[in-house]
Structure 1
């Protein structure tokens, strides 16, 4: 049969010393880095709503199209709102490996937040809907050590909101009164990695409450103002 002749995905074996443990996650981040800039003109062409969930729908569709345009070589599936094993709170985007031999759990997840004149920018960080806080408390991605966030910038500039987020993180590091969560580590602040016409990529590290381990977060601020 035709499908028997098609190449199947062979993921790195657990004891393969020639492959880094985070090989697949690194491959996904690289894929996003290469294709995210093209999302903005695509979004401006097809957008029908400025709602956060709808933007995530279009972003997932764009990444799936990019994957298919590369002959589907990457064995990854971008999905919306993957369920959490130990929480009833869902992330916005999860990435799965299409492999029958593995349990269907996302190997990296992304939370998304809007930045506009009507949104609450502090929710990118903390609060009941706080993006970073949900990772810290283990409500999101408790089985993962690397995840990410998308910031949908709908007013001002990416730099404006990045500064606001970092100022708020600095404020939390010195004035937080919630003893159940720690914001004191300077590594919580977003550090610039790269920038292009529409996308700013940043990085931070956060100490998670559950389990008590450091988590790497990749941040992508997307300029959707044009």
Structure 2
């Protein structure tokens, strides 16, 4: 909050104006997002929706509400369709940023004007209409709309070494989609698509079969002289 003289003040009774967090705190943040997914999906008050835009808007609203009432997370905000920091012509589906605080992670300062974690959201399967590529979670041969493709090219999160993706599994299950995506990565490598190799495969790190949600991880080399990027994936069976 701001005082009358424009000076940044600490959040009343809760947080200092600067919060120092270890780099691995981002793993806790991604875990927090994943833990919210089953309750959001199963909320009887949630309007029925299947489109990516509507689902992501709903999820962003849910996360924003939950973090305000969750001690230890109430210094965050979740924003929709935020212009990418490195390429303002492109928008990030969900941007996680500080709210009323300055956050330091490994010597880097984040204010409400900087994104802590960029998040891209994709449906599984990709709706097949027009010039959509069924592999769009990974890559599109028609455009630069592929989810991982955007990160590899530096079109999203060029100033970040870590980002996240949320997968809305609307047909099939998590295990079958992991197998399918690994097959597609092998196809991209076999077809000699520039920049793709077996190293781009996703690896599952946890799978809650009751909540029908899973965490996965992947690492990718990037173009344009950028360093590698690590992606955390959270998938939920809708």
- Same structural fold, with TM-score higher than 0.5 when normalized by the shorter chain: yes
For structure 1, which runs of at least 5 residues remain unmatched after alignment? Answer: 13-18
Runs of at least 4 residues off by over 4 Å: 99-103
Other-structure match for 2:184: 168
Which has the larger share of strand?
A: 2
In 2, are the aligned partners of 1:138 and 1:211 still within 8 Å (CA)? no
Aligned residues: 211
Other-structure match for 1:135: 151
Verify the 8 A CA contact 1:142 1:210 in the aligned structure 2. Answer: no
Deviation at 1:155, TM superposition (A): 1.3
| Aligned residues of 1:111 and 1:149 also touching (Cα < 8 A) | yes
Q: Secondary structure at the match of 1:123?
A: coil
| Higher share of residues assigned helix | 1
Give the alignment of 1:1-226 within 5 angstroms.
5-9=12-16, 10-12=18-20, 20=22, 22-42=23-43, 45-71=45-71, 73-87=73-87, 88-99=89-100, 102-103=110-111, 104-116=113-125, 118-119=127-128, 120-127=133-140, 128=143, 129-178=145-194, 182-184=195-197, 186-196=198-208, 197=210, 198-224=212-238
Q: TM-score, normalised by structure 1?
A: 0.83
Equivalent residue number for residue 16 of structure 1: none
Provide the TM-score with structure 2 as the length reference. 0.79
Unaligned runs of 5+ in 2: 4-9, 103-109
Matched residues in 2 for 1:61 and 1:72: separation?
A: 18
Shift of residue 201 of structure 1? 1.1
Contact 2:158/2:226, CA 8 A, preserved across alignment: no
